[in-house]
Structure 1
């Protein structure tokens, strides 16, 4: 996989790399010493591109599900990736495009310290976005009110227009209505030749209240999510585009892939291209064919030849 990753990186030549979670298949079960080995392997895979800006968000395989979610563990893991705070969230800007990443694993859980920390990050980002449209005093006053009620996904309407906020990076996709999921997934699968079940169910997305809370607070320009192991390009009811990126690992799917996003002008226009690596099954067939061919070349000259002479 490292070889294909580096070749793809050379071909695309990106300005930065985004990893949408699940760096380790069983990270939540690993001791810190083993985690350091995983991080070393990750850095080795980046190889010569380690100097390029990159941002990693946390997935459920990295930090565990709600039952095993531990704030100290999340803090330690997040501390090993650039730009993440103690709750596993981050905010940065590159080439005049703003990005916000959220620990969506924590948002799926009930009343816990990590979820409250993520909500505080959302509201803090909301302050910066609303300063110009609503004024500094009113925005800070609203935030003071929020600090007393953030335990219940509360939000307020604001003057910001849809898609005027940052690029949002998530591990779990946002909630979609059943009808929109059917339509979008059908179109995606037809365009790529898929058939069968949907790539994910409602249990693998953020709940409706958390989804609405994020939309109202951040007004994301575009959303990139993961977790489902399936590529999906979906437009929400307010026109916000969400691109779900498939897994880049043969253990997760036969044809792993990644997405190349190009931000044009002021960053409002985004073109997205899906790139898939060779199928593992095709590689196995190719390697088997080469092996058989090599064996044939080696063995055929060694087969004894008998010459029969008839008189």
Structure 2
């Protein structure tokens, strides 16, 4: 009798419990590695513009920064695989949910771009384009960062050239989409020391400045080259504009204290004051997007080059997209028309949330597997108490 009950229990365990447990583990894996990215990111959507002109379709752009793909020097291969898988799933989920028209990546694509060999760099580029593959109809622009080619005085012509060639990223680039103009800038080329890279960047900025002046109807333009539709440009670069520190940043995901009060070093933590003034006065931006700090910041600027001339705009510092740099990576969605720029900050799943969710579901699965009864169990127990 006892042996019969034991065999029956073993049969039920292997035929009922183990398949249920295996299916539960499969669901936990799928949720933790796929579904959770949709659950979090579906809560973020394109910001709504105040006035939508039916004749002017908005540009929908995604902005991310500081992916810091690991190389062979920093971090274990398991850490590299894990971080890259996370970013790949998060990015592809964003592409599926939001379908942006254009994607801007604001520098430090690679963690070891300034050190790696040519073969390692080729591998870096292939991995980047695989991990951050954009669908047909979406265009990606990469802005160079200091980890990609080095800080100013460590940049060699070879380091600058290979990034520019492989990522199609010149020191300065004007991208115009339906009357919206984006100026992409190499922050390390604004050192102001007259080097060949800096001279090339300044020449391009001056040229773009003149085109914008001509397009706005200013009598000060020289070349007479005009854009089809004028609007103040949006700056995209790796460094933030000049500021003394992050102490003025009040976002919930700003740098933590006491790091927030640490003084910035010009040309290393942010642009110099002179380069900032030069950019603002030359291009008169309506918005500026930077990165580099790995933390968030929103600053309302008001520059007055002369008593009768005021330039006002908002600067956004984009947090890192990598879990290696922060526990709560972010990216921006921006809706743009020639008259408006609206911004939404989107969260990715926190790492502890993913781990806690998996742990709780596993505990629930163990409890369910241990105590759950099948329909046949219930029937046998119910009928065993009846008289036949």
TM range (shorter): 0.7 to 0.9
Does the aligned pair in 2 maintain the 1:165–1:219 contact within 8 Å? yes
Partners of 2:254 and 2:282 lie apart in 1 by: 37
Residues of 2 paired with 1:200 and 1:234: CA distance?
A: 17
Structure 2 CA distance for aligned equivalents of residues 9 and 290 of structure 1: 28
Offset from partner CA, 1:130-183 (integer Å, 9 cap, x none): 2253447x6259xxxxxxxxxxxxxxxxxxxxx9531111100101366xx644
1:106 counterpart = 2:173: no
Contact 2:244 2:263 in 1 (8 A): no
Which stretch of structure 1 is more off in the superposition, 43-52 or 14-23?
43-52
The TM-score normalised by the length of structure 2 is 0.63
Q: Give, in angstroms, the shift of residue 206 of structure 1.
A: 0.4
Residue of structure 2 equivalent to 1:115: 198
Residues matched between the structures, number: 268
* Structure-to-structure mapping, 1:186-225, within 5 angstroms: 186=250, 188-189=251-252, 196=257, 197-198=259-260, 201-203=263-265, 204-225=269-290
Cα-to-partner distance string for 1:207-265 (whole Å, 9 max, x where unaligned): 1111000011111121111111112111112321111111100011000010000013x
1:174 aligns with: 241
Where does residue 236 of structure 1 map in the other structure?
A: 301
Computing the radius of gyration from Cα coordinates, the structure with the larger value is 2
Counterparts of 1:289 and 1:95, CA distance in 2? 49
Question: Cα 1:299–1:61, aligned 2, differ >3 Å: closer, same or farther?
Answer: farther
- Indicate which of 257, 261, 266 corresponds to 2:334: 261
Q: Structure 1 residues 72 and 296 mapped into 2: Cα distance closer, same or farther (>3 Å)?
A: same
Map 1:273-284; keep pairs closer than 5 Å.
273-284=344-355
**Which one scores higher on RCO, CA 8 angstroms, separation ≥ 6?**
2
Please list, as runs of the form range in 1=range in 2, the aligned pairs for 1:3-14 lying within 5 A after superposition. 3-14=89-100
1:282-301 aligned at under 5 Å gives the runs: 282-291=353-362
SS in 2 for 1:36: helix
CA distance in 1, matches of 2:276, 2:318: 18
Tell me how far 1:12 sits from its aligned partner.
1.6
5+ unaligned residues in a row in structure 2: which ranges?
1-86, 225-229, 303-310, 373-388
Two-structure CA RMSD over aligned residues (Å): 2.8
Query: Aligned match of 1:59 in 127, 141, 145?
Result: 145
Q: 1:250 aligns with which of 306, 323, 326?
A: 323
CA 1:109/1:124 → structure 2, altered by over 3 Å: closer, same or farther? closer
Deviation at 1:296, TM superposition (A): 6.5
Partners of 1:210 and 1:105 in 2: how far apart? 11
SS at 1:30's partner residue?
A: coil
State the alpha-carbon separation in 1 of the partners of residues 197 and 254 from structure 2.
40
Cα shift readout 1:61-111 (whole Å, capped 9, x = no counterpart): 1011123111232112111123x33xx321111232111111101213744
How far did 1:284 drift? 2.2
Give the Cα–Cα distance (whole angstroms) in 2 for the partners of residues 227 and 97 of structure 1: 25
Per the alignment, do residues 34 and 234 of structure 1 end up closer, same or farther by CA in structure 2, a change over 3 Å counting? Answer: same
* Aligned CA distance change for structure 1 residues 90 and 112 (closer, same or farther; 3 Å): same
Partner of 2:307: none
SS of residue matched to 1:29: coil
Question: 1:298 & 1:38 partners in 2: Cα distance?
Answer: 45
2:376: which partner in 1?
none
Tell me how far 1:287 sits from its aligned partner: 2.9
Deviation at 1:201, TM superposition (A): 4.2
Equivalent in 100, 119, 130 of residue 44 of structure 1: 130
